[in-house]
Amino acid sequence: MPQVTSTGLEEPAPKTAKESVDEIREAFWIVGRSMGQVRVHERLLRAAGVRIDRAGGALLYMLLAHGESVRVTGLADLLGVDAPSVTRKIQQLEREGLVARHADPKDHRATRIGLTDKGRKTLERVLKARRAWFDRLLEGWDDRDLANFAAMLGRFATSLERDLEDARGV
């Protein structure tokens, strides 16, 4: 039965753990489905004023997040795809001036892929548009709600990463 708080608002009856987990699962399904929609990606690109496909954006983001140039095989591992797919995407991004290849200083037979200034600026525009979108989604949330949400989501993300690493045998 709902409880009435000091503010006069009804507080929902406590949920069971199963009900809460089901609610979380359903919310993540909506978030995952929504975040992956092509129209969301296209809307962000329009806001950023750039043209790049999702695979290209993911590759640029991985290079930025890694902080230094990466071998093709390393990028494939980071992205969870095969090396030939990464090679084709790199060739396209090279033609667009977003990435560049250079010799690996430790193994001159290998090459490393890095962001160009144009690639970094392109990605920064997309990230700025994504941040503005998140700001709109979270508009009206107070600081405490944001901090709690960040803490809980971070805790979940840590559990998820740990589980995925365990599954890979890392």
pLDDT of the residue at 88: 93
Do the strands 70-71 and 10-11 form a parallel or antiparallel pair, or are they unpaired?
unpaired
* DSSP classification of residue 105: S
For 129-159, the pLDDT digits (tens) are: 999 999 999 999 999 999 999 999 999 999 9
- Please count the residues of the chain: 170
Distance CA 135, CA 72 (A): 34
Burial class (CB in 10 A: 0-12, 13-18, 19+), 165: exposed
For 60-102, the pLDDT digits (tens) are: 999 999 888 889 888 998 888 898 999 999 999 999 999 999 9
Question: Do 89 and 59 touch, CB atoms closer than 8 A?
Answer: yes
Dihedral of alpha carbons 10, 15, 21, 23, sign:
negative
The CATH number of the structural domain formed by 37-137 is 1.10.10.10
pLDDT of the residue at 1: 53
Question: Do 52 and 45 touch, CB atoms closer than 8 A?
Answer: yes
Cα 118 to Cα 13, 36, 64, distances in angstroms: 54, 25, 12
pLDDT of the residue at 5: 60
Give the residue extent of every domain in the chain: 37-137, 140-170
